[in-house]
């Protein structure tokens, strides 16, 4: 086997193992802490410090504060993803990915082009955004069942706060975490309106949460049958899920084609860079090659945009 290829594979395996181990350790730590907190909440053994921390606003991370608006956006993403790790953990992951990409780029390209490996520092931010989107989707999927449980609890004569507590005890995360936090904030003295508004702030991309919060607050101000309102919201959300499932089935062929055509150039570039790295040098050293590279990237971006618009349906 080619010695250079052996070195490349060794570096890739080492960096991949390091990244996977870091993510696995952080995930296990966050899950263990959240599991302990859920058990403590169900047993009623939350300490005063933990309850008071729900009432106090979260202090901003110094690193995030130094990044200005971008830091605030990342903190919001962390909050929406359920805070799987602190902001410093995100910075650490970005540094590891950047260093790993730089090492792999240095071994593969052996030229100033290796600095492009630093772009891998953005991978943790992309993964965080993906985690936030997945949690928001899971929250929307669980919300109809939670609304039904709240509705039945209200029919049994319980108050809204007790109904939220029941959801926190009986439902699964993430809806149990979010509704449980609303109950805990209200339980330590915060007004229910503020607690519900904080729920909407923590989940800015969840339209269903906004509808739920707006409906409850409007009912508290103007009156009405809250049980009927919650049942209607639950039924509407379920109907939308059915429609989205039909759309996903009808557009499956277009989406798979887009994935294959979108990933093929990157696979070919990786193979060429590993087998004949000097083939790619004219794209960054020759003026004509630079123009061709810019044109190819522009056409590729246009094609990806067009395919994404074709395979998506507004719901």
pLDDT tens-place string over residues 56-72: 445 556 666 677 777 77
Using one digit for the tens of pLDDT, what is the confidence trace for 92-102?
Answer: 888 887 777 77
Round to whole Å and give the CA distance between 72 and 150.
Answer: 33
Check if CATH label 1.20.81.30 holds for domain 137-247.
yes
Predicted confidence band of residue 3 (pLDDT cuts 50, 70, 90): low
Q: What is the pLDDT of residue 100?
A: 77
Domain boundaries, the chain: 3-133, 137-247, 252-310
pLDDT at residue 67, rounded to an integer? 72
Q: Are the C-beta atoms of residues 100 and 19 closer than 8 Å to each other?
A: yes
- Please give the residue that has the higher pLDDT: either 52 or 151: 151
pLDDT recorded at residue 174: 86
End-to-end Cα distance, the chain: 52
pTM above 0.75, yes or no: no
Does residue 134 surpass a pLDDT of 80? yes
pLDDT digits (tens, 9 = 90+) for 196-232: 888 888 888 888 888 888 888 888 888 778 889 889 9
- The helix (run of H) or strand (run of E) holding residue 255 is helix 252-275
Question: What pLDDT does residue 53 have?
Answer: 45
Q: What percent of the chain has pLDDT over 90?
A: 3
DSSP string, 57-94: PPPPPHHHHHTTHHHHHHHHHHHHTT-SS-HHHHHHHH
Mean pLDDT of the chain: 77
What's the pLDDT at 22? 63
- Give yes or no for residue 54 having a pLDDT over 70: no
Q: Collapsing DSSP states into helix, strand and coil, what is residue 213?
A: helix
């Amino acid at each position: 086997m080619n010695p250079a290829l052996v070195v490349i594979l060794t570096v890739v395996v080492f960096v991949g193992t390091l990244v996977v181990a870091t993510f696995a350790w952080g995930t296990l730590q966050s899950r263990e802490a959240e599991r302990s907190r859920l058990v403590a909440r169900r047993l009623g053994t939350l300490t005063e410090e933990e309850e008071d921390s729900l009432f106090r606003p979260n202090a901003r991370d110094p690193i995030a504060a130094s990044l200005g608006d971008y830091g605030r956006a990342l903190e919001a993403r962390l909050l929406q993803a359920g805070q799987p790790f602190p902001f410093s953990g995100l910075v650490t992951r970005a540094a590891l990915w950047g260093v790993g990409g730089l090492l792999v780029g240095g071994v593969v390209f052996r030229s100033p082009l290796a600095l492009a490996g630093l772009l891998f520092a953005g991978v943790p931010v992309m993964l965080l955004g993906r985690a936030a989107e997945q949690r928001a989707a899971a929250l929307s999927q669980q919300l109809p069942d939670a609304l039904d449980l709240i509705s039945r609890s209200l029919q049994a004569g319980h108050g809204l706060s007790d109904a939220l507590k029941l959801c926190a005890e009986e439902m699964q995360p993430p809806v149990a975490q979010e509704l449980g936090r609303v109950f805990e904030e209200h339980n330590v003295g915060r007004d229910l309106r503020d607690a519900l508004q904080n729920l909407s702030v923590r989940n800015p991309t969840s339209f269903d949460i906004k509808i739920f919060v707006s409906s409850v607050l409007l009912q508290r101000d103007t009156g009405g049958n809250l049980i009927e309102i919650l049942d209607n919201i639950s039924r509407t959300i379920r109907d939308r899920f059915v429609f989205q499932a039909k759309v996903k089935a009808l557009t499956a062929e277009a989406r798979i084609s887009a994935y294959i055509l979108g990933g093929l150039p990157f696979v070919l570039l990786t193979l060429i860079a590993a087998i004949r790295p000097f083939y790619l040098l004219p794209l960054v050293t020759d003026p004509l090659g630079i123009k061709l590279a810019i044109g190819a990237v522009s056409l590729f971006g246009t094609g990806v945009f067009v395919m994404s618009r074709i395979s998506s349906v507004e719901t």
